[in-house]
Chains A and B, each alone.
Chain A
Amino acid sequence: MSDFHRVVITGMGVVSALGTWPGRFFDRVCAADSGIRTLPEMNPAPPITIAAWIEDGIDNDPKTAVHDRVTQLALTAGRLALEEAKLLDRPDLLQETGVYLGTGAGPSSTMDQSYHRLYAEHKDRVSPMTLPRGIHNAPASELAIRFGMGGANNTFAIACASSATAIGEAMRAIRHGYSERILAGGSEALLTYGVLHAWHALRAVAPPADPVGSSCRPFSSDRNGLVMGEGSGFMVLESLESAQARNAPILAEIVGYGASCDATHITHPTTEGQQRAVQNALQDAGMEPASIDYINAHGTGTLAGDAVEAETLRTVFGADIHSIPVSATKAVHGHLMGAGGAVELAIGILAIRQNRIPPTAHCRVPDETLGIDMVAEGAREQTVDTILSNSFAFGGSNAVLIARRF
């Protein structure tokens, strides 16, 4: 083995409010077909009434259905990725495969329901499965158990940079020979009564617009907040040697990962920290800014967040930023928090595979002060060889990934 291994993606799986990948997910992103809808009724009614929530597409066999929703989503997206990578019938290879999973809130339904029993129903005990299903690493562990993946099993809890970090760290582990193959990604399912209250209190969430699907409007002058979502995205990362030896499908190559922390404020982003992460990723990939053909922005749709990110891009890319399309797909799949980085990297890779750049949906009054090409008019058909995906988190953590055509 040499000291440096190229890292490729041999399978991807997504489960989201826009359906699954493989499936209609990417077509719906490109069609600006929003998954943001009115939430099902809860009693008592939560203060947030809209989200990109999943109605179907989650594996519902009895072995999956017993778990917390975040684990159910991970088991579904993980299975889809392993299936595409042609690994489901290879227990010998799965035995040495690792799992790197990012999640911000973890199994929040389990904890919400347990506390409800105690505080609201005044029961004197909780289910014995509260801990086994409620620990933060339950989704990663259940993936390992379900598919017999005996490699390193790591959970990253870095808010909205969780799954981008999981993928970046997985790439490094393979690149430097610690592992040959890792299922990496993230899962998030935090549309519970308690968590909805917590987000509402922060005043960062957009109110329902007309139509509801257009409530999240990144890069638009009339943007007024993020819209929460749930979902999961996974990809099989593999050394090039391993993928070629087993004749696996190669979807793309991951070539750059940059990480940093603003180290200034728990919620307010700063451009300097973000710039360090983008520059680190470009340096890691050995690429000039002009090599990037498409940027999937963090773009949450908040006034301050989008402005700081645009400043970051203008500073790092200079004049080149005018010729690089930048879109924020959270407008349609919602803010997937810890799963966002993985799902948005999958969108970038599908842009490479299909030479199709998804739009920033609902950008009805493009904010020209941002100085970026936000693809407001609709999807574009053009050659895409290299993409960059930003994930910027509460806590100030930033993770940036670069992938290219193989």
Chain B
Amino acid sequence: MNDIEEQLYVLLIKEVPVAREGLTRDTTLEEIGLDSLSTIEFMFQIEDQFGIRFEQTGTPPKTLGDVFDEVHAKLAQA
């Protein structure tokens, strides 16, 4: 857990009706109701907040950990 990931949880809770308790890096996007469209919206919000851009290609994230890792990687490049 770190500050970045805590900010991502806060952003996620704003986007989808889900409680913070019980959410971990292993939680899948599917189990919290993020379909392909809402995942794109979530990624868009992350990009806006952190000033980064994800690659349009590549494997779509399956878990919150996948999303967090992509954020860490992008921030490291910045």
Contact with B along A124-136 (1 / 0, CB 8 A): 0001110010000
* Other 6 A-B pairs with CB < 8 A, given A128-B41, A129-B37, A129-B41: A62-B17, A66-B15, A127-B41, A127-B44, A128-B37, A128-B40
Q: Which of B1-59 contact A (CB under 8 A)?
A: 15-17, 37, 40-41, 44
From A128, A129, A132, residue with most partner B Cβ within 10 Å:
A128
* Cα(A62)–Cα(B41), bound, Å: 15
| Interface band, chain B | under 10
| Interface band, chain A | under 10
* Cα(A127)–Cα(B15), bound, Å: 13
Contact with B along A44-88 (1 / 0, CB 8 A): 000000000000000001110010000000000000000000000
Chain B residues with a Cβ under 8 A of chain A? 15-17, 37, 40-41, 44
What secondary structure prevails in chain B residues at the interface with A? Answer: helix
CB distance from B43 to the nearest CB of A (A): 8
A132 with B37: CB separation less than 8 A: yes
Closest 6 CB pairs of A and B: A62-B17, A128-B40, A129-B41, A128-B44, A128-B41, A127-B44
Minimal Cβ-Cβ distance residue in A for B16: A62
Minimal Cβ-Cβ distance residue in A for B13: A62
B17 with A63: CB separation less than 8 A: yes
B17 with A61: CB separation less than 8 A: yes
CB distance from B19 to the nearest CB of A (A): 11
Residues of B within 8 A of A66 (CB): 15
Residues of A within 8 A of B40 (CB): 128
